[in-house]
Structure 1
Amino acid sequence: MTVLVWLSLAAWVWLTLAQGFFWRTDQRLPAPVATGRWPEVVVLVPARDEAEVLPVSLPSLLAQRYPGRARVVLVDDHSSDGTGELARRLGADGGLALTVTTPPPLPPGWTGKLWALRHGVEQAGGAEYLLLTDADIAHRPDSLAALVAAAEGHRLDLVSQMARLRVETGWERLIVPAFVYFFAQLYPFRWSNKPGSRTAAAAGGCSLVRRTALERAGGIAAIRGAVIDDVNLARAVKRTGGRTWLGLAEQVDSVRPYPELAQLWRMVSRSAYAQLRHSPLLLLGTVLGLTLVYLVPPVAAVAGAAAGAWWVAGAGAAAWALMAGTFTPMLRYYGQPVAAALLLPFTALLYLLMTVDSAVQHWRGRGAAWKGRTYGKTLEPGDGPASD
């Protein structure tokens, strides 16, 4: 335990100071630079069985205050709950022009969302920008204008914002802020936003991409089988010379509820093993790493104090304090009490179990199940042309 706790403390010192300051929440949309250009934008919304959330999200897109030409294309991915019909009724209320379309049947080698996006790109005509946004994402009225102003003013090819997820139930408050915290730890936003850096990431719920950059990267077909499509898209754009930016959102919110642990569990586990490239060795390393970094500190602090081993207890408490301190800015971003930072080891344990479950489901042939579809081993970071 003495060796483990000092290794854990060393890991937290390194994470705090040398992992791109991932824990800071200051990466927000760059301040707009007046260019006088408002190029045409098409908003692409892939939707499959989204009738529950569409009445909140779609009107927010149709109500965008954009000075240039803009329209919305909703791709109804063979929904069974009347998503397409509902979208047409919502579009009749005014705002931006809305097109509702359905893609051909899903071919082998494609995920449903990316096949729908490919079809949407075909419907977009010659628009200079495409806003890829999920059906459960609501945008404030000036969101689109702010995204385009950032892209134009700072010469960015991909501008992505991580939508603010819902944190209303107890499970959401426990798991959601940690979800974003862990994502930022894997893909530090500062590194991702640095031109020339190998790190590249995006948030699939809100990504504005320049059409020429997407075409240069090989189009949606370049990432056609990716379960983690947002990271692959950013890597493809950056690998082919594009400039990308990712930050936390202030005008973009997810309206999908996750009131129960089972729903949050599925959200994480459906792609966790894909993130590890379906590698048993990476899975083992992740389990050991999460244990060392997140579980050893509280165990050492409590057990060391109980046994009178004060060096062990002190090192464990110091590592736990660094853990809680780096988590605090994310809790504040989500409006949660700072004291909840002490629960991060428990949340990390849940994520460890979700990751193991993701691998088990993959081995059983049920991996990456979503909206009635199950995907096997597909193109992920490091497996194909989207990787760096």
Structure 2
Amino acid sequence: MIATLALLIWLYLFFLHGKFWASAPELPPATPPALPDADIIIPARDEAQTIAPVIASLLAQDYAGKFRVILVDDNSTDGTAALAGVHPRLTIITGKPKAPGWSGKLWALQQGVEASTAPILLFADADITHDPRHLASLVTRLLTPRADMVSEMVRLNCTSLPERFLIPAFVYFFQMLYPFALVNDPLKSTAAAAGGTVLIRREALARIGGLEKIKSTLIDDVSLAREVKKSGPIFLGHSGLATSIRPYPQISDIWNMITRTAFTQLNHSALILAGTLIGLTLVWLVAPYEVIHGHGWRFLAGLAASALAVASYFPTLKRYNQPKLMALALPFIALFYMAATIASAVNHWRGTGAQWKSRAYGGPGA
């Protein structure tokens, strides 16, 4: 029964779950049919290692319309603002102390929004570099076909051994959780965004009540997408024109990245956590177990489910230039993510949460 259930789950995931595994769509370089003014808002807290190339790449955008970059220095202690440089198109704002009830990133973004005037806003992270064609391609997709918000999963850093082992899986699991085809279908309720690159119409942001509507959320990108999609179309894709330069050289770096938000994603619910772990066991562990230990139908069901799982990972591995054999490690990778999710819950229950930029996240009341 369990082997059959695991196979049925994989038949659904592979054939009926929005082709999550396709690692698509990707926005091509394009020239927009109109040139609305755009303000690019970068929240930055202690980003001395990355801020200079990030700002330089944004100031070099080949966009024929008017645009400027607004850097919100969120009380950095490492000289982030000074390293950003000086440019006529660059405005640097010294962030105010975080207001009660706001998450740090959203409070910084809010200050950038208040300082901006353009009808189009690009929220971008302080660790992402941009091809000169990137802003134009984003605006093109916002205009044709019309969308209220366009977001992209940028290419994540994938050079160290821990990154090669775990980062493509992070993207793959995100696609599984939020199939891009369903996100982009206005008739479906599925909504998501990737916070590193979010282009949004000012009117759409105002319509949902501004960033204040989601001010306390930790997974702010998905929360913003849900609010926007209630009244207008959104788009989520992959980017070939933007790359994260934040390294994760140690397994502990990726572990901390997951534990910071995993239990929040589950609404801090022990019941949802238990259900998630059971589901992940059925999806990732039952099939390989049956391949090794099963006989007859159990073996065949496990083999078929495993084959679907492995095949579904190939497009993501290709995107990150990793060998197909890496797909055989998916059960072990899944165990890592399951353990990190449990750790995220334990941190929350202990009242510690996770640490990011000298701030605590994820504990009760955080």
Residue 59 of structure 1 aligns with which residue? 56
Q: Does 1:247 align with 2:245?
A: no
- Closer, same or farther in 2 for the Cα pair 1:138/1:31, shift >3 Å? closer
Between the aligned partners of 1:261 and 1:31, the Cα distance in structure 2 is 34
Between the aligned partners of 1:66 and 1:46, the Cα distance in structure 2 is 22
SS at 2:243 equivalent: strand
After superposition, give the CA deviation of every residue in 1:64-90 in whole Å (9 maximum; x if it has no partner).
Answer: 111010000000000111111211xx2
Q: Does 1:116 align with 2:108?
A: yes
SS at 1:154 equivalent: coil
Residue 119 of structure 2 aligns with which residue? 128
Between the aligned partners of 2:120 and 2:232, the Cα distance in structure 1 is 14
Q: Does 1:78 align with 2:75?
A: yes
- Taking the TM superposition and a 5 Å limit, the aligned residue runs for 1:198-217 are 198-217=189-208
Residue 102 of structure 1 aligns with which residue? 94
After superposition, give the CA deviation of every residue in 1:341-388 in whole Å (9 maximum; x if it has no partner).
Answer: 111111000000000000001111122431111134579xxxxxxxxx
Deviation at 1:196, TM superposition (A): 2.9
Amino acid at match of 1:302: I
- Closer, same or farther in 2 for the Cα pair 1:288/1:301, shift >3 Å? same
Between the aligned partners of 1:27 and 1:321, the Cα distance in structure 2 is 24
Q: Does 1:261 align with 2:251?
A: yes
SS at 2:355 equivalent: coil
Q: 1:32–1:153: 8 Å Cα contact kept in structure 2?
A: no
The number of residues matched between the two structures is 365
Amino acid at match of 1:50: E
Residue 12 of structure 1 aligns with which residue? 10
Q: Does 1:283 align with 2:281?
A: no
Between the aligned partners of 1:124 and 1:103, the Cα distance in structure 2 is 14
Where do 5+ consecutive residues of structure 1 fail to align? 380-388
TM-score, normalised relative to structure 2: 0.97
After superposition, give the CA deviation of every residue in 1:76-109 in whole Å (9 maximum; x if it has no partner).
Answer: 000111111211xx2x3x5x61111122211221
- Closer, same or farther in 2 for the Cα pair 1:212/1:377, shift >3 Å? farther
Residue 354 of structure 1 aligns with which residue? 340
Deviation at 1:34, TM superposition (A): 5.2
Q: 2:154–2:197: 8 Å Cα contact kept in structure 1?
A: yes
SS at 1:246 equivalent: strand
After superposition, give the CA deviation of every residue in 1:22-54 in whole Å (9 maximum; x if it has no partner).
Answer: 11123122785752x101000000000000111
Residue 299 of structure 2 aligns with which residue? 313
Between the aligned partners of 1:103 and 1:348, the Cα distance in structure 2 is 39
Between the aligned partners of 2:18 and 2:31, the Cα distance in structure 1 is 26
Deviation at 1:149, TM superposition (A): 1.3
- The structure 2 residue matched to 1:366, chosen from 345, 352, 356, is 352
Q: Does 1:296 align with 2:286?
A: yes
Between the aligned partners of 2:280 and 2:39, the Cα distance in structure 1 is 41
Q: 1:33–1:154: 8 Å Cα contact kept in structure 2?
A: no
Residue 345 of structure 1 aligns with which residue? 331
Q: Does 1:182 align with 2:165?
A: no
Amino acid at match of 1:104: K
Deviation at 1:6, TM superposition (A): 1.4
Amino acid at match of 1:329: P
Q: 1:287–1:352: 8 Å Cα contact kept in structure 2?
A: yes
Residue 41 of structure 2 aligns with which residue? 44
Q: Does 1:144 align with 2:141?
A: no
Between the aligned partners of 1:49 and 1:154, the Cα distance in structure 2 is 38
Deviation at 1:242, TM superposition (A): 1.8
Between the aligned partners of 2:256 and 2:161, the Cα distance in structure 1 is 17
Where do 5+ consecutive residues of structure 2 fail to align? none
More deviation, 67-76/149-158: 149-158
Q: 1:33–1:153: 8 Å Cα contact kept in structure 2?
A: no
Q: 1:162–1:206: 8 Å Cα contact kept in structure 2?
A: yes
Q: 1:226–1:378: 8 Å Cα contact kept in structure 2?
A: no
Between the aligned partners of 1:132 and 1:83, the Cα distance in structure 2 is 18
TM-score, normalised relative to structure 1: 0.91
Residue 222 of structure 2 aligns with which residue? 231
Q: 1:30–1:150: 8 Å Cα contact kept in structure 2?
A: no
- Closer, same or farther in 2 for the Cα pair 1:283/1:29, shift >3 Å? same
More deviation, 198-207/310-319: 310-319
- Closer, same or farther in 2 for the Cα pair 1:166/1:33, shift >3 Å? closer
SS at 1:374 equivalent: strand
Amino acid at match of 1:225: S
Alpha carbon RMSD of aligned pairs, Å?
A: 1.5
